[in-house]
Amino acid sequence: MSGAATQISGRISRIVAVHSCKGGVGKSTVAIGLARALQRTGRRVGVLDADIYGPSLPSLVDGLPSTEPELSPNGRQVLPFVSADGLICQSFAFVARLWRRRLGDGSVVLRGDLVAELMAAMANHTRWGSLDDLVVDLPPGTGEVPLTLATAFPLDAAVVVSTPHALALADTIKGVEMLAKLGVPVPAVVQNMALFRCTGCGDVHRPFGPSAADALRARLPDAQLVELPIMPHDSGLGGSLAAEFDVVARALDAVDARLKRGGHALPLPTKQWSAPHWPTLMATAKLELK
């Protein structure tokens, strides 16, 4: 690790991952909803959008700039974007803007080994300041990339997101087991799009049936199961589901007793990877354009 790392200061009290075994099930929606719920309790919250396959932070948080992020005066740290209400945001989508200017237009294609270095840099060379919570939106699945990232961050807890389909049950269990093997407790499982309330008669309908929820409760008796309704597209998902996300945030308190006092000092002890600072990473990375 270079001398750059020693310039980083600050602490992160708690690092919470949001994970799902499939993409498109609402992982990022839950990550932002959880971040906002934690903010409502007065905590200073950062979000690290580590989903290199589908970074969606820019479209989920209103009002973030579409410009390149600024570098610190010595060029070694990237300044995060901060939303109007104080959510501290870093995403691969933001740092890719820096790369694009160097390489011209096109998509940035990442090789596996570069992903790990990139995430180490995003975690350790973003000027977070001190945070009460860092919510990490992990890539989906239990393959090499999500596993590497889940292993490398010193995660205090994880929230697993799934849908209520019977077929998603096995995946959800697989995700919880992967995290359990890494010693990461899962105090809450979110079943997204589990039900809807009929605007005509007011009845609650469960289009995918109650079976997956019951089976999950049986398999994961210690986790708080939170069901989210299917929301109309224009409802502003996060705001309308505040009560549900508050339950997820409270479930995290159950693991706080396990946390070491004082949390994590920056730079984080990222296992397995070196964490080159930005200029080195961008200059040496073998990127392809498509």
Q: Residue numbers of the site for Mg ion (CB under 5 A)? A: 27-28, 51, 54, 56
Q: How many CB atoms lie within 10 A of CB 83?
A: 18
Backbone φ and ψ for 61, nearest 5 degrees, come out as -110, 120
Is residue 25 part of the contact set for ligand ADP (CB under 6 A)?
yes
> How far apart, in whole angstroms, are the C-alpha atoms of residue 228 and residue 222?
19
Q: How many residues bind ligand ADP (CB under 6 A)?
A: 16
> Which CB atom, from 155 or from 193, has the smaller least distance to ligand ADP?
193
In sequence order, the 6+-apart residues with CB closer than 8 A to the CB of 112 are 144, 145
Q: Which of 10, 24, 143, 236 binds ligand ADP (CB under 6 A)?
A: 24
> How far apart, in whole angstroms, are the C-alpha atoms of residue 106 and residue 125?
25
> How far apart, in whole angstroms, are the C-alpha atoms of residue 75 and residue 51?
24
The residues in 134-153 that bind ligand ADP, with binding defined as CB under 6 A, are none
Binding mask 230-259 for ligand ADP (x = CB under 6 A): xx-----x----------------------
Minimum CB distance to Mg ion, residue 233 (Å) = 17
Is residue 192 part of the contact set for ligand ADP (CB under 6 A)?
yes
Is residue 27 part of the contact set for ligand ADP (CB under 6 A)?
yes
Determine the 3-state secondary structure of 155 from DSSP. coil
Whose CA is closest to 253, among 8, 92, 16? 16
151 binds, among Mg ion, ligand ADP, none (CB under 5 to 8 A by kind): none
Whose CA is closest to 91, among 64, 63, 130, 73? 64
> How far apart, in whole angstroms, are the C-alpha atoms of residue 213 and residue 136?
25
> Which CB atom, from 56 or from 72, has the smaller least distance to ligand ADP?
56
> Of the listed pieces 117-125, 224-232, 250-258, 278-286, which binds ligand ADP according to CB under 6 A?
224-232
- Which residue has tokens 């809807």? 196
> Which CB atom, from 115 or from 193, has the smaller least distance to ligand ADP?
193
Is residue 20 part of the contact set for ligand ADP (CB under 6 A)?
yes
> How far apart, in whole angstroms, are the C-alpha atoms of residue 8 and residue 40?
28
Q: Which of 108, 149, 155, 228 binds ligand ADP (CB under 6 A)?
A: 228
Is residue 289 part of the contact set for ligand ADP (CB under 6 A)?
no
> Which CB atom, from 20 or from 91, has the smaller least distance to ligand ADP?
20
**Interstrand relation of 11-20 and 264-265 (parallel, antiparallel or unpaired):** antiparallel
Q: What are the percentages of helix, strand and coil residues in the chain, rounded to 5?
A: 40, 20, 40
Is residue 23 part of the contact set for ligand ADP (CB under 6 A)?
yes
Query: Which residues of the shown chain bind ligand ADP in the complex (CB under 6 A)?
Result: 20, 23-29, 54, 56, 192-193, 228, 230-231, 237
